[in-house]
Amino acid sequence: MEKERIIEELEKLLKNHDLTALRRMLSDIQPVDLADIFEQVPEETRLVLFRILPKDLAADTFAEMDHDEQEQLLTNFTDQEVKNVLNEMYTDDAVDMLEEMPAGFVKRVLAKATPDTRADINALLKYPEGSAGAVMTTEYVSLKANMTISEALRWIRAHGDDREDVYTCYVTDANRRLNGVLTVREMLLCKRDAYVSELMEDNIISVKTTDDREVAAQQLARYDLNSLPVVDGEGRLVGIITVDDAIDVLQQETTEDFQKIAGTTPSEEPYLKTPAWKMAGHRIVWLLVLMISDMISGGILGSFEDALTALPVLITFIPMLTDTGGNAGSQSSTLVIRGLALHEIRVRDLPRVLWKEFRVAILCGSVLAAFNFVRLSIQYPGQQMVAVTVAVAMFFTVMMAKAIGGVLPIIATKLKMDPALMASPLITTIVDAASLLIYLNVAKALLNI
Amino acid sequence: MEKERIIEELEKLLKNHDLTALRRMLSDIQPVDLADIFEQVPEETRLVLFRILPKDLAADTFAEMDHDEQEQLLTNFTDQEVKNVLNEMYTDDAVDMLEEMPAGFVKRVLAKATPDTRADINALLKYPEGSAGAVMTTEYVSLKANMTISEALRWIRAHGDDREDVYTCYVTDANRRLNGVLTVREMLLCKRDAYVSELMEDNIISVKTTDDREVAAQQLARYDLNSLPVVDGEGRLVGIITVDDAIDVLQQETTEDFQKIAGTTPSEEPYLKTPAWKMAGHRIVWLLVLMISDMISGGILGSFEDALTALPVLITFIPMLTDTGGNAGSQSSTLVIRGLALHEIRVRDLPRVLWKEFRVAILCGSVLAAFNFVRLSIQYPGQQMVAVTVAVAMFFTVMMAKAIGGVLPIIATKLKMDPALMASPLITTIVDAASLLIYLNVAKALLNI
């Protein structure tokens, strides 16, 4: 509600041409909240409001907007405004934005930037999407080993304004090779005439430009860093990844895992912003593949047609058995997929996972089998063997499902495939066919049909 | 492999009593890696290695260990060692550890801490688990508004050593009320004789001690903060949440969502560390609930027994229809659950979600129906109406599944329930029953059975 009230107030001030009050009001709002508000006002209002913002706030707000709104603003900006925004934005934010836009548009926009900015942005645009190089920024603080701490602090004071992170400083040699890391915290707490070389940490955690951005984000999170240095093949410092971007990467990668687990093609667009036809496209492939695979289950049922029509009550237990198998398998696969993503489980843990799932399956399978045996013995008093059949089938279904659910994601990882593909939808389909085979064979053997 | 090699090397040095080399080697390893290594060595070695570590590194490493290992070390520590570790650890880490331990043990451990540390820890232990109060730390930098920047920097130099975050400083009045926030970045870039009051930001983003820790972590991520102030009911600053802890909270909450989506009871224990009986306990409840719900599907099949035995080929399409319904519904529910968790979707978006799912369902449903119609027309040449039946049932199953999957998580949120409960397992069960009803009624109407 809050946001709606602010928009009303803004529109009132705008109608009264009270630009001073408008500017004061806008200046009190955080960039990310302003971006949200700007997305909800009409296009013309957006441009007007944007032009009222102080320059710094304008650039920060612009960086927080969604790509659609950024593109609309860029199209309507004067050349000078495009130049300002590009020069004020951190390169990683600019790259993030331009990556999503048509190549011709990017070229026209970059033509308006200063040569330095253009060169910086073009360099970053070359890294493949999803790599550490593509999310890093070039605005870091680099110090020399022979500086004293006072000199270093003076350098930060002179150049820190346009650095995305000033708290972690990188010590490089004449060839830009990364030799050490020094935090402002340490500088503040030590003597001012000490040398950078004495204080710097030379045991450095870094990633390569070509490393996966998820690996970079996980390193940053694991070692509780403010920023992580990114080096090229020769160990030269080329950029840093900041903690706020690392959080975004982790959230996006997790969303991708959710999408894959749901059996849809991953996409970075938020749910409500994805057009229906596009969303249908993301979903139809897996629906089709799984539906075709389900024909195997249909075939199995077809080949047991005589048994099923001879004792039709057997049909009524099919949903319970196949669903429980699917659920038991999904539980295992989802937890193993998450464990793999967090590196709590590794490929070499396969035997441990199998042994754990085996014991869990015996416990869960026994409870579910016993429950069914008791219920069916009461419900169908004369047909003890039907109760035995369902109970036995249930036990082995759970055993099979948990083994498949626990093992397949690890095997996928081993084969360099994405473990998240081995999630509920696929597991359910495999387990369905397997549980029908178990059930109908047990029925044939025990009931002589 | 790396880690195994380090452990071998450590054991060799230990056997040769080469403590100097051992200490040098250990000092080069990051605390979180040391914690990993310590968890893999035998208990006696762990204590010996721990005692070789420099005091600071020892405390940091201890804070990174799992609770089992922490408890084992605490049990074997001398009183002095317990005291050192508790005094060196940040209070939030100490609280995090003690929360998981038996009350009697906590009492004995705290008896060995200094009175100040004990009071700090006891204060934090009072906040309910999952609240901002329970994850915050009390080691922040607080400044006075009438200090100059030089004075502020001098204060940080004198007291910063034991503060968990020094980069964001909090300006409080005589009553500890939070009046402003000032970053070290701003202090470094401005004139040294400026006053804190001139530079501080008084438009403060903060949370209350009683707020959900997930809300706090999301605020910190949204506004790209280094730390977030936590205030009590009277607006007094009582602690801060640091960005590294916010990342942990976000990861844990996401893991909980994965666990719920998998149909298991959430648990903070890593997969491989959870005993099998406990894991079975987390899983059996949902398996039982869903299995019992599946009896409804069984009942539906039972009441159509005559139709199914009259035309047994109908049985063979059941897995395909129910599974596709389940998959279509899970796609929608999982994406909506994630959207709700990221605040991309809100309760008031219900009509928009429904409209989007409706259009996606028409597209997906048509493709799947057409596929089946063509396939079955070829496979069963004489029985055109069977093909029509399956195609029509498929279309309406997808429509129904996407509506249920898209809407239930939002309704759950509206009812103050956890949307993640409305995930695949439950959706599949509901959709199963509904798709059987659709299928069998369509069959009855079109095939006159």
Q: Which residues of B262-298 are buried (b: 16+ CB within 10 A; e: fewer)?
A: bbbebbebebeebebeebbbbbbebbeebbebbbbbb
At A280, the pLDDT band (50, 70, 90 cuts) reads very high
Task: Tell me the C-alpha distance between B9 and B26, whole Å.
Answer: 11
- Asked if A28 reaches chain B (Cβ–Cβ under 8 Å), the answer is yes
Residue A129 confidence (pLDDT): 87
Residue A214 confidence (pLDDT): 93
Residue A4 confidence (pLDDT): 81
Q: What is the ipTM of this complex?
A: 0.86
Does A425 score more than 70 pLDDT? yes
**What mean pLDDT is predicted for residues A293-313?**
90
At B132, the pLDDT band (50, 70, 90 cuts) reads very high
**Mean pLDDT over each residue of chain A, to the nearest integer:** 91
**Mean pLDDT over each residue of chain B, to the nearest integer:** 91
Task: Tell me the C-alpha distance between B121 and B123, whole Å.
Answer: 5
Least Cα distance to A220 among A232, A233, A208, A229 occurs for A229
Longest Cα separation, chain B: 94
How many residues can be counted in chain B? 449
A357 with A402: CB under 8 angstroms?
A: yes
Does B336 score more than 90 pLDDT? yes
Does B331 score more than 70 pLDDT? yes
Cβ within 8 Å, pair B167-A189: no
CB < 8 Å to B263, chain A: 327, 330-331
Task: Tell me the C-alpha distance between B205 and A147, whole Å.
Answer: 37
Q: Which residues pair with B302 in a beta bridge?
A: none
Give, in order, the Cα–Cα distances in Å from A55 to each of A37, A87, A88, B69, B154: 18, 11, 8, 53, 33
Model confidence pLDDT, tens digit, residues A316-352: 999 999 999 999 999 999 999 999 988 889 999 999 9
Residue A304 confidence (pLDDT): 92
Choose from A320, A349, A373 for mutation: most chain B CBs within 10 A: A320
Task: Tell me the C-alpha distance between A63 and A67, whole Å.
Answer: 9
Task: Tell me the C-alpha distance between B392 and B347, whole Å.
Answer: 32
Task: Tell me the C-alpha distance between B317 and A299, whole Å.
Answer: 9
CB < 8 Å to A218, chain B: none
At A269, the pLDDT band (50, 70, 90 cuts) reads confident
Output the CA torsion B352→B357→B360→B366 (10° steps).
Answer: -140
B214 with B253: CB under 8 angstroms?
A: yes
- Asked if B244 reaches chain A (Cβ–Cβ under 8 Å), the answer is yes
CB < 8 Å to B311, chain A: none
Q: Is A359 exposed, middle or buried (0-12, 13-18, 19+ CB in 10 A)?
A: middle
SS3 of residue A195 by DSSP: strand
Cβ within 8 Å, pair B344-A270: yes
Does A422 score more than 90 pLDDT? no
Residue A3 confidence (pLDDT): 80
Task: Tell me the C-alpha distance between B408 and A182, whole Å.
Answer: 51
Model confidence pLDDT, tens digit, residues A174-183: 999 999 999 9
Task: Tell me the C-alpha distance between B259 and B271, whole Å.
Answer: 11
- Of the candidates B223, B301, B327, the beta carbon closest to that of A290 is on B327
Q: Which residue has the tokens 């860093």?
A: A225
**What mean pLDDT is predicted for residues A47-67?**
90
B90 with B140: CB under 8 angstroms?
A: no
**What mean pLDDT is predicted for residues A246-268?**
89
Chain B residue with the nearest C-alpha to that of A276: B360
Does A266 score more than 80 pLDDT? yes
Residue B40 confidence (pLDDT): 86
Residue A155 confidence (pLDDT): 93
Does A385 score more than 80 pLDDT? yes
Model confidence pLDDT, tens digit, residues B203-228: 899 999 999 999 999 999 999 999 99
Chain A stretch 151-170, residues whose beta carbon is closer than 8 A to a beta carbon of chain B: 153, 156-157, 160-161, 166-167
- Asked if A404 reaches chain B (Cβ–Cβ under 8 Å), the answer is no
Strands B207-208 and B227-231: parallel
Q: Which residues pair with B231 in a beta bridge?
A: B208, B237
B43-48 long-range CB contacts below 8 Å, 24 or more apart? B43/B72, B43/B76, B45/B11, B45/B14, B46/B72, B46/B73, B47/B73, B47/B76, B48/B14
- Cα B276 from chain centroid (whole Å): 22
This prediction's pTM: 0.87
